[in-house]
Structure 1
Amino acid sequence: MNFIRFINGSIKLILQGSKAYYAWLFFLVALALWGGFGYIDQLQDGLITTNMRDSVSWAFYIGNFTFLVGIAAAAIMLVIPAYIYDWKPIKEIVIFGELLAVCAVIMCIAFIVVDIGNPMRFWHMLPLVGTMNFPYSMLSWDFFFLLAYLIINLTVVTHLLYSIFHKKEYNKKVVQVIVLISIPMAVGIHTVTAFLYNALPARPFWNSALLAPRFLASAFCSGPAILLILFQILRKITKFEIKDKAIWTIAELMVYAMFIYLFFTIAELFKEFYSGTEHILYWKYLLFGIGDSKEIVPYSWSSIIMGFIAFVLFLIPKTRKNFVTLNIGAVLIYASVYVEKGIALIIPGFTPDVLGQIYVYTPSITEIRTAAMIFSLGFLLFTFLVKIAIAIVFENYNISDIIKKEKSVKSEMSTI
Structure 2
Amino acid sequence: MVRILSFGTSLTDRWHMRALHEKNLRTFLADVICWNLRGSIGFQLFRLVLLGCMGMGVYAYSFQARYGLSVTGMNDIVSWGFYISNFTFLVGVAAAAVMLILPAYVFHDPDFHRVVIIGEGVAVGALVMCLSFILVDLGGPLQAWHLIPVIGIFNFPSSILAWDVVVLNGYLLLNALVPAYILYSHYRGRPADERKYRPFVFLSIFWAFSIHMVTAFLYQGLPARPFWNNPLMGPRFLASAFAAGPALITLILAIIHSATTYSIDRSVFSKLRLIIVISAIINLIMLFSEVFKEFYFPTHHSSSAMYLFFGMDGHNSLVPWIWTSVGVNVLATLVLAFNPGKSNPKVLLPACLFLFVAIWMEKGIGLIVPGLIPSPLGEVVDYLPTWVELSVTLGIFALGITIVTWLIRAALIIEQEYVGY
TM-score, normalisation: structure 2: 0.92
- Indicate whether 1:219 and 2:233 are aligned: no
Choose the corresponding residue for 2:289, options 267, 270, 288: 267
- Please report how far the alpha carbon of residue 397 of structure 1 lies from its aligned counterpart in structure 2 after TM superposition: 8.3
- Indicate whether 1:127 and 2:149 are aligned: yes
Counterparts of 1:267 and 1:319 in 2: how far apart (Å)?
A: 30
Query: What amino acid is the match of 2:93?
Result: I
Question: 1:107·1:378 contact (CA, 8 Å) conserved in 2?
Answer: yes
* 1:343-385: CA deviation from partner (whole Å, max 9, x where unpaired): 1101111111112111111000000000011110111111111
Counterparts of 1:355 and 1:319 in 2: how far apart (Å)?
A: 52
- Indicate whether 1:365 and 2:387 are aligned: yes
Instruction: Give the paired residue count.
Output: 398
Choose the corresponding residue for 1:10, options 16, 32, 36: 32
> What is aligned with 1:57?
79
Counterparts of 1:242 and 1:87 in 2: how far apart (Å)?
A: 14
* 1:121-177: CA deviation from partner (whole Å, max 9, x where unpaired): 213212233221111100000011001101111111110111111112211122222
Change in 2 beyond 3 A, CA 1:319/1:170: same
- Please report how far the alpha carbon of residue 102 of structure 1 lies from its aligned counterpart in structure 2 after TM superposition: 0.8
- Please report how far the alpha carbon of residue 35 of structure 1 lies from its aligned counterpart in structure 2 after TM superposition: 2.1
- Indicate whether 1:245 and 2:267 are aligned: yes
> What is aligned with 1:414?
none
Counterparts of 1:6-405 in structure 2, within 5 Å, are 6-316=28-338, 318-396=340-418
What's the secondary structure of 2:61's corresponding residue? helix
* 1:84-118: CA deviation from partner (whole Å, max 9, x where unpaired): 22110111101111111111111111001100012
Question: 1:163·1:170 contact (CA, 8 Å) conserved in 2?
Answer: yes
- Please report how far the alpha carbon of residue 217 of structure 1 lies from its aligned counterpart in structure 2 after TM superposition: 0.5
Question: 2:32·2:410 contact (CA, 8 Å) conserved in 1?
Answer: yes
Counterparts of 1:239 and 1:305 in 2: how far apart (Å)?
A: 37
Question: 1:391·1:397 contact (CA, 8 Å) conserved in 2?
Answer: no
- Please report how far the alpha carbon of residue 273 of structure 1 lies from its aligned counterpart in structure 2 after TM superposition: 1.8
Question: 1:191·1:215 contact (CA, 8 Å) conserved in 2?
Answer: yes
* 1:329-354: CA deviation from partner (whole Å, max 9, x where unpaired): 11111111111122110111111111
State the Cα RMSD in Å.
Answer: 1.3
Query: What amino acid is the match of 1:359?
Result: V
* 1:290-336: CA deviation from partner (whole Å, max 9, x where unpaired): 13211110000011011101110110262320111111111111111
> What is aligned with 1:405?
none
Question: 2:220·2:228 contact (CA, 8 Å) conserved in 1?
Answer: yes
Counterparts of 1:23 and 1:175 in 2: how far apart (Å)?
A: 37
Question: 2:315·2:381 contact (CA, 8 Å) conserved in 1?
Answer: no
Counterparts of 1:383 and 1:320 in 2: how far apart (Å)?
A: 28
The list of structure 1 runs, each at least 4 consecutive aligned residues, that deviate by more than 3 angstroms after superposition, is: none
Query: What amino acid is the match of 1:263?
Result: I
What's the secondary structure of 1:130's corresponding residue? coil
Counterparts of 1:291 and 1:126 in 2: how far apart (Å)?
A: 42
Counterparts of 2:290 and 2:298 in 1: how far apart (Å)?
A: 12
Identity of aligned residues (%): 38
| Farther off after superposition, 63-72 or 334-343 | 334-343
What's the secondary structure of 2:191's corresponding residue? coil
Counterparts of 2:218 and 2:102 in 1: how far apart (Å)?
A: 27
Counterparts of 1:397 and 1:173 in 2: how far apart (Å)?
A: 20
Query: What amino acid is the match of 2:176?
Result: L
Counterparts of 1:233 and 1:364 in 2: how far apart (Å)?
A: 32
What's the secondary structure of 2:300's corresponding residue? coil
What's the secondary structure of 1:318's corresponding residue? coil
Change in 2 beyond 3 A, CA 1:88/1:397: closer
Question: 1:145·1:188 contact (CA, 8 Å) conserved in 2?
Answer: yes
TM-score, normalisation: structure 1: 0.93
Counterparts of 1:274 and 1:236 in 2: how far apart (Å)?
A: 48
| Farther off after superposition, 38-47 or 121-130 | 121-130
Counterparts of 1:40 and 1:224 in 2: how far apart (Å)?
A: 34
